[in-house]
Structure 1
Amino acid sequence: MAAVAAKFVSKRVLNESTANKFGRYDPYFETVPATDLSGQPKRNGKTKKIKRRINPKIPPADAEVLTKVKRRAYRLDNAMSICGIRFGWSSIIGIVPALGDFADIFMALMVMTTAMKVSPGKDRDKLRAVMIMNIIMDFVVGLVPFLGDIADAFFKCNTRNAVALEKMLNNRVKALEKKEQQHHDDDESDDNRHSHVYLEDALPPSYEAAHEDRHDRGNGAPAEVQRPAKTQRMGGGWFGGRVEREADLEAGEPPLPPRK
Structure 2
Amino acid sequence: MNPLLFPLKYVAKKVFGEVEIGGKAEDPFFEEVEFQKRSFWSGSTKIVKKRRDKSVPEFVPEADSKILRRVRKRAYRLDMKFHLCGVRFGWIGVIGLLPVIGDLFVLWLSLQVYREASKISGGLPPAEAARMITNICVDFGLGLVPIVGDFVSVAYKANSRNVLVLEKYLTHKYNRVRVPAPAATQRI
Q: Shorter-chain TM-score: what band?
A: 0.7 to 0.9
In the alignment, the residues of structure 2 paired with residue 50 and residue 64 of structure 1 have an alpha-carbon distance, to the nearest angstrom, of: 18
In the alignment, the residues of structure 1 paired with residue 45 and residue 29 of structure 2 have an alpha-carbon distance, to the nearest angstrom, of: 24
Q: Identify the residue that residue 23 of structure 1 maps to in structure 2.
A: 21
SS of 1:96's partner is coil
Q: Identify the residue that residue 148 of structure 2 maps to in structure 1.
A: 147
Relative distance call for 1:37 and 1:79 in structure 2 (3 A) is farther
Between the two proteins, the alignment pairs up a number of residues equal to 163
Residues 141 and 152 of structure 1 are in contact (CA less than 8 Å); yes or no, is this contact kept in structure 2? Answer: yes
Shift of 1:23: 1.8
For 1:163, give the aligned amino acid: L
Q: C-alpha deviations, 1:188-240, integer Å up to 9, x for none?
A: 9xxxxxxxxxxxxxxxxxxxxxxxxxxxxxxxxxxxxxxxxxxxxxxxxxxxx
Alignment map for 1:11-90 (pairs within 5 Å): 21-24=19-22, 25-33=26-34, 36=37, 43=46, 45=48, 47-90=49-92
Relative distance call for 1:115 and 1:42 in structure 2 (3 A) is farther
In the alignment, the residues of structure 1 paired with residue 118 and residue 83 of structure 2 have an alpha-carbon distance, to the nearest angstrom, of: 29
Q: Identify the residue that residue 237 of structure 1 maps to in structure 2.
A: none
For 2:113, give the aligned amino acid: V
Higher RCO (CA < 8 A, seq sep 6+): 2
For 1:28, give the aligned amino acid: F
Shift of 1:36: 4.0
Relative distance call for 1:95 and 1:42 in structure 2 (3 A) is farther
Query: Structure 2: which 5+ runs fail to align?
Result: 1-17
Alignment map for 1:130-145 (pairs within 5 Å): 130-145=131-146
Residues 79 and 160 of structure 2 are in contact (CA less than 8 Å); yes or no, is this contact kept in structure 1? Answer: yes
**What TM-score do you get using the length of structure 2 for normalisation?**
0.75
Shift of 1:174: 2.4
Shift of 1:43: 4.0
Residues 67 and 117 of structure 2 are in contact (CA less than 8 Å); yes or no, is this contact kept in structure 1? Answer: yes
In the alignment, the residues of structure 1 paired with residue 147 and residue 160 of structure 2 have an alpha-carbon distance, to the nearest angstrom, of: 21
Query: Structure 1: which 5+ runs fail to align?
Result: 1-19, 189-260
**What TM-score do you get using the length of structure 1 for normalisation?**
0.56
Q: C-alpha deviations, 1:99-144, integer Å up to 9, x for none?
A: 11001000000001110110115x5332221111111110000001
Q: C-alpha deviations, 1:54-93, integer Å up to 9, x for none?
A: 1000000000000000111111111112222211111110
Shift of 1:31: 3.6
Residues 77 and 153 of structure 1 are in contact (CA less than 8 Å); yes or no, is this contact kept in structure 2? Answer: yes
Greater C-alpha Rg: 1
Q: C-alpha deviations, 1:146-198, integer Å up to 9, x for none?
A: 11011011110000101000000000122202xx45xx56xx9xxxxxxxxxx
SS of 1:32's partner is strand
Q: Identify the residue that residue 100 of structure 1 maps to in structure 2.
A: 102
SS of 2:70's partner is helix
SS of 2:114's partner is helix
In the alignment, the residues of structure 1 paired with residue 173 and residue 117 of structure 2 have an alpha-carbon distance, to the nearest angstrom, of: 15
Q: What RMSD, in angstroms, separates the aligned Cα atoms of the two structures? A: 3.0
Matched, 1:173 2:174: yes
Q: Identify the residue that residue 160 of structure 1 maps to in structure 2.
A: 161
Give percent identity, aligned residues only.
35
For 1:168, give the aligned amino acid: Y
In the alignment, the residues of structure 1 paired with residue 115 and residue 83 of structure 2 have an alpha-carbon distance, to the nearest angstrom, of: 27
SS of 2:64's partner is helix
